[in-house]
Chain A
Amino acid sequence: MNEQEQQLLMEIADDELILGWRDSEWTGIAPLLEEDVAFSSIAQNEIGHARALYELVARARGTTADELAFDRSPDEYRCAPLVELRLMDWAETIARHYLYEEADAKRLEQLKQSEDPEIAGLATKIDREEAYHRIHAQMWFDRLRDEPRFVEALERLRPQAEALLDSAQRGEHTAELADLWEEMTMVRRSQPAGTKW
């Protein structure tokens, strides 16, 4: 796996980790019980995808997935600002979910064609799980497509979704990422390096 491929996998892994974290913030407080369950499962899947992607890069770099996920400073993350936003509005959350799944499907389709069998194999596996996220996002898109609040959220967030498919638009972060990082890495930073849970 060359440096460019590692970089791309890190971008996707960071997106999935941070979005998974944001999705998990709906656990317990989603507007419907079914969505509480759905967003909790989606969050779990996204973080699982992040872990597998970090694992592939970690094998190439001789490190561990945990070190890649948690031992960097916030400005070293390569996630797109769209996934960092702390959206506690349902229409905005569904708009981001829809835009993210749309872009994620495109990049997974490309990764599945990779000449590196490890990358192509993992992308194929991730894509099979993401199919259920896409069905869920489409279902909500169809339900809300005529609601002005949803349409506005979609238009407002759409420009930010472009960075998901363009490495050149990554690197800048929102202030919200620093807060998320603080919480996400707190337990790990409180323990000596190498602690296993």
Chain B
Amino acid sequence: MVTEAQVWDALAEIPDPEIPVISLVDLGVVRGIDVDDRRVRVEFTPTFLGCPALEVMRDAMADSIRALGAEPEIQVLLDDSWSTDRITAAGREKLRASGFAPPSPRGIAAPTLVQLQSNAHRCPYCGSTETRLENIFGPTPCRSLRYCGSCKQPFEQFKTI
């Protein structure tokens, strides 16, 4: 019989489809795992609702549970339970090391343009805070584009949600 710990370990091996340096567990999209004999239920809390990787994540989790010899049930939670705050410390460091600036912590109020334009965001390459917003939107809904005035390097900044 499969244990909950085995399922967590298996899901921690699945890379994020768009940013493969981090796993689905690092990304924080696994809200809970419930093992009932051969049935494994996973509570999956999606990132951005329009993210095209969501189906890939769901199917990869189901395949990985089948590979353990269990029957998967992936429950998609359509609530506010995912936040960029759920990305683990290890996940944030892996993001930074690959040139993606990790998200700032979620505030009480919604983000503002003034915040996004402030130089409170650190360059993932040189660590400078001399960075500026280039575009609120980037190659995927979860990212913005910034430019580092110190090392002259454009980089992608995770949006906080």
Contacts and interface: CB of A to CB of B under 8 A. Distances in A.
B111 A45 contact: no
Interface stretch (A131-139, A153-161, A176-184): A131-139
A36 to B, nearest CB: 10
Most interface-central of A34, A41, A56, A122 (chain B CB within 10 A):
A41
Interface in A133-152: 134-136, 138-139
Contact of B137 (A37, A46, A47, A118): A37
Interface in A48-106: 48-49, 51-52, 55-56
A128 B110 contact: yes
Contacts of B48: 45, 48, 129
A49 B51 CA distance: 10
Given A41-B137, A41-B141, A47 B50 contact: yes
B135 A55 contact: no
Interface residues of A, number: 33
Contacts of A138: 113
A6 interface: no
Contacts of A117: 79
Contact of B49 (A38, A40, A121, A126): A126
A27 interface: no
B50 A118 contact: no
B37 interface: no
A51 B136 contact: no
Nearest to A112: B80
B116 interface: yes
Interface in B94-125: 110-113, 116
Given A125-B80, A131-B110, A132-B159, A49 B50 contact: yes
Query: What DSSP secondary structure best describes chain B's contact surface?
Result: loop
Given A37-B135, A48-B51, A131 B80 contact: no
Contacts of B112: 135
B78 interface: yes
Contact of A118 (B78, B111, B141): B78
A122 B79 CA distance: 5
Contacts of B81: 121
Most interface-central of B49, B80, B110, B159 (chain A CB within 10 A):
B49
B154 interface: no
Interface string B42-82: 00000011111000000000000000000000001011111
Contact of A46 (B50, B82, B145): B50
Interface of B: 48-52, 76, 78-82, 110-113, 116, 134-141, 145, 159, 161
5 contacts: A37-B135, A45-B50, A122-B80, A131-B111, A135-B112
Interface of A: 34, 37-38, 40-42, 44-49, 51-52, 55-56, 117-118, 121-122, 124-129, 131-132, 134-136, 138-139
Which 3 A-B residue pairs are closest in the complex by CB-CB distance? A48-B50, A121-B79, A48-B49
Given A45-B48, A131-B111, 6 more contacts: A44-B52, A46-B50, A52-B49, A118-B79, A122-B80, A135-B111
